């Protein structure tokens, strides 16, 4: 048992029963100065996270006049609401295509990753199965040692995957850590269920679809969300393997137009009329890249502490 | 085979000594309960194999096949010739280690500097934040704060870098605010001297909140009676922190430090490669970006594969060494002896 395990078993921070007295009897009365200081520090920490988002959203909704008033820079307070920037970047062109590509890669990649990881984990979770030991060793080795950038690039090249969407999925399809989390979960399921189903004449496939998967919804959700966030955020593989502009996912669009500030021209976005100013369009791209994360965040949050900690517990 | 026999056989297979060891005489067993042969087991587990093999193949193809590809570290690799036809050059590619290629040395120095800065500065922030959150009485407030502070972890580096540029850049929120109030502007993005500070600030912004999870879990495991007993004996809040809370976290701290040490040669590739443009390579090149710039963009395949190999080995050695050190000081470390 490692220290990490001990530290993380029974993570009851979230669901500790509500105490009648908030402060234990033996604890001295909090010093108001200290309390105020704590409050200020936490407030600053929260502001550091929230204010940038606010400023970005407000700027993405600004029109030319508001940008000019702000001296060409970012806005802190809304000054009229205009959706022109969103309309421009979403009506065809490189940003729209990148958005669709990112959605496609994320959805297909997550499904493939989930299926492959669950299959692998189910295999390794059964005791005494053919090849279980060596493959488990391979999995643990992959957690400890990751191959370098160059050799991985060469493998992708040798497979002829350069500049293909598959290069965004296959190299990251199996995350060894996620498989270990799933395996741990499958092992926790009561084995008697499998035995009784077997005696009742269920084939292993029926056991999988009727017993294992329905009982594993939670872990499938957690691991699936982790994979999905990974695919959505992936930048490294796109940078290495994708060469054609037409195949850019959102990460490369963000780098080119927002980080490197390349000008967004009329042929890069849809709509033939006058373009909205650059800054709101850049911020609109940024918002579009952030929103999907915000949408899944509540689900992620409900599960992630558990997911992170299971892996630590049962490694 | 009756149902009862099936159950017995399954039990036997699950027990740890199910497989007879070579050289040990097996007790006589009824024929039905014998460990089936390989073909029988393959047939029995065929569904599991069908389900599991795709994942295993992908794992081998993209985690282990590249390790074979590392042989180009000993070749004068030419992409059009491929691994088969490229010339073998022995250890020539490793000469950068002995001769000290200035760009490589610069990258190494920057990497080590960043690692030290990040370990010293990035590491304690989650701990402090966790202690602060833990000391809050209201569960609801705590949970709300956690939701906000965890969020940046899930944003990609591209987004984080873009956000920092928009906030601190020359036309960013901060400078716009300064201009409006007739204050002098600050140039943070694009100043080489401030690059490492910027990188560290970004790392803290992105992952400090997330890093509190593990500390909060550990804090919740500390027995409250210890605090009570200490308080009755007259220990004040500061004493309890120093003598109970921090010592309880020591094992976890050592563990995280070892893991960090194992990664000390890789500092945020994505984060840095995105920001090299404005500050130049001298201030910003680290080992991973050097591998990319020199190897893939510059075509120095053999040398960067060699460097990558050395880097991987050093990383593994660092973990083993740090773990030994932890054992020497009586800590548990990542794995047992």
CB contact under 8 A, B69 and A154: yes
All residue ranges of chain A with pLDDT < 50 are: 1-16, 18-21, 310-315
CB contact under 8 A, B304 and A150: yes
CB contact under 8 A, A150 and B255: no
Mean of pLDDT values over B85-103: 79
What are the pLDDT digits (tens) for B247-282? 888 888 887 887 777 777 778 888 998 888 888 888
Are B293 and B285 a contacting pair, CB within 8 Å?
A: yes
What are the pLDDT digits (tens) for B181-220? 888 888 888 888 889 889 999 999 998 888 888 888 888 8
| Two structure tokens written together for B11 | 């039990």
Question: A81, A47, A90: which is closest to A62 by C-alpha?
Answer: A81
CA atoms in the 13 A half-sphere facing the CB of B234: 0
According to the model, what pLDDT value does residue A273 have?
Answer: 65
According to the model, what pLDDT value does residue B336 have?
Answer: 54
Q: Which of B155, B217, B269 sits opposite A8 (nearest CB)?
A: B217
| Helix B124-134 vs helix A32-60: crossing angle, to nearest 10 | 110
User: Could you identify the residue written with the tokens 């955020």?
Assistant: A233
What are the pLDDT digits (tens) for B232-254? 888 888 888 889 888 888 888 88
According to the model, what pLDDT value does residue B166 have?
Answer: 87
Contacts of A11 in chain B (CB under 8 A): 217, 220
A255-284 burial, b at 16+ Cβ within 10 Å, e below that, comes to: bbbbbeeeebeeebbbbeeebbbbbbbbbb
| Two structure tokens written together for B122 | 């990035």
| Two structure tokens written together for A294 | 């915000």
pLDDT beyond 70 at B25: no
pLDDT beyond 70 at B334: no
Burial of residue A103 (number of CB atoms within 10 Å: 0-12, 13-18, 19+): middle
Tell me whether 0.90 is exceeded by the ipTM.
Answer: no
CB contact under 8 A, A151 and B63: no
Average pLDDT, chain B: 81
Torsion region of B91: left, alpha or beta (phi above 0 gives left; psi -120 to 50 gives alpha): alpha
Following CA atoms A141, A143, A145, A146 in sequence, which dihedral angle do they give, to the nearest 10 degrees? 120
Pick the residue with more confidence: B293 or B16?
B293
Long-range CB contacts (< 8 A, 24+ apart) of B42-47? B42/A130, B45/A123, B45/A126, B45/A129, B45/A130, B47/A203, B47/A204, B47/A205, B47/A208
Mean of pLDDT values over B125-152: 86
pLDDT beyond 70 at B4: no
Share above pLDDT 90 across residues of chain B, in percent, rounded to a whole number = 8
């Amino acid at each position: 048992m490692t220290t990490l395990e001990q530290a993380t078993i029974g993570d009851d921070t979230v669901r500790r029963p509500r105490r009648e007295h908030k402060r234990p009897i033996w604890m001295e009365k909090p010093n108001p100065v200290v309390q105020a200081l704590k409050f200020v520090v936490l407030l600053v920490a929260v502001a550091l996270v929230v204010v940038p988002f606010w400023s970005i959203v407000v700027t993405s909704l600004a029109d030319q006049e508001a940008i000019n008033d702000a001296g060409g820079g970012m806005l802190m307070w809304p000054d009229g609401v205009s959706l022109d920037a969103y309309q421009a970047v979403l009506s065809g062109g490189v940003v729209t295509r990148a958005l669709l590509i990112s959605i496609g890669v994320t959805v297909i990649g997550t499904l493939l990753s989930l299926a492959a990881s669950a299959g692998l984990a189910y295999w390794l979770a059964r005791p005494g199965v053919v090849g279980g030991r060596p493959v488990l060793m391979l999995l643990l080795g992959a957690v400890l040692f990751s191959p370098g950038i160059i050799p991985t690039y060469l493998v992708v090249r040798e497979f002829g995957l350069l500049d293909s969407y598959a290069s965004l999925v296959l190299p990251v399809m199996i995350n060894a850590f996620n498989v270990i989390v799933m395996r741990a979960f499958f092992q926790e399921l009561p084995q008697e269920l499998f035995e009784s189903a077997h005696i009742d004449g269920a084939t292993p496939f029926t056991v999988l679809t009727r017993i294992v998967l329905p009982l594993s919804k939670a872990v499938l959700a957690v691991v699936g969300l982790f994979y999905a966030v990974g695919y959505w955020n992936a930048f490294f593989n796109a940078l290495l393997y994708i060469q054609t502009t037409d195949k850019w996912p959102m990460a490369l669009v963000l780098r080119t137009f927002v980080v490197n500030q390349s000008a967004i021209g009329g042929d890069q976005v849809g709509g033939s009329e006058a373009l909205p100013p650059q800054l709101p369009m850049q911020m609109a791209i940024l918002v579009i890249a952030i929103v999907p994360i915000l949408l899944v965040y509540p689900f992620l949050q409900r599960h992630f502490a558990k997911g992170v900690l299971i892996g630590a517990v049962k490694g | 085979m009756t149902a009862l026999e099936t159950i017995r056989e399954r039990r036997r297979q699950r027990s740890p000594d199910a497989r007879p060891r070579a050289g040990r005489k097996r007790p006589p067993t009824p024929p039905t309960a014998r460990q089936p042969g390989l073909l029988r087991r393959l047939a029995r587990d065929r569904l599991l194999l069908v389900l599991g093999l795709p994942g295993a193949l992908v794992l081998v193809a993209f985690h282990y096949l590249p390790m074979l590809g590392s042989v180009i570290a000993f070749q004068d690799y030419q992409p059009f010739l491929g691994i088969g036809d490229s010339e073998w050059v022995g250890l020539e590619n490793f000469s950068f280690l002995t001769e000290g290629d200035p760009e490589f040395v610069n990258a190494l120095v920057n990497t080590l500097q960043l690692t030290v800065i990040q370990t010293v500065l990035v590491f304690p922030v989650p701990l402090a934040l966790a202690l602060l959150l833990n000391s809050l009485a209201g569960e609801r407030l705590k949970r709300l704060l956690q939701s906000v502070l965890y969020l940046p972890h899930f944003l990609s580096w591209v987004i984080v870098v873009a956000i920092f540029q928009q906030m601190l850049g020359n036309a960013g929120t901060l400078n716009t605010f300064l201009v409006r109030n007739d204050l002098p502007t600050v140039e943070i993005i694009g100043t080489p001297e401030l690059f490492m500070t910027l990188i560290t600030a970004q790392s803290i912004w992105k992952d400090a909140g997330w890093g509190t999870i593990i500390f909060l879990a550990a804090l919740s495991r500390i027995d409250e009676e210890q605090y009570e007993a200490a308080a009755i004996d007259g220990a004040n809040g500061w004493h309890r922190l120093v003598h109970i809370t921090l010592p309880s976290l020591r094992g976890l701290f050592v563990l995280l430090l070892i893991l960090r040490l194992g990664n000390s040669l890789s500092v945020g590739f994505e984060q840095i490669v995105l920001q090299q443009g404005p500050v130049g390579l001298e201030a910003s090149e680290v080992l991973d970006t050097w591998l990319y710039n020199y190897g893939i963009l510059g075509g120095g395949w053999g040398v960067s594969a060699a460097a990558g190999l050395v880097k991987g080995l050093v990383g593994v050695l660092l973990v083993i060494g740090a773990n030994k050190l932890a054992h020497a000081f009586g800590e548990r470390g990542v794995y047992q002896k």
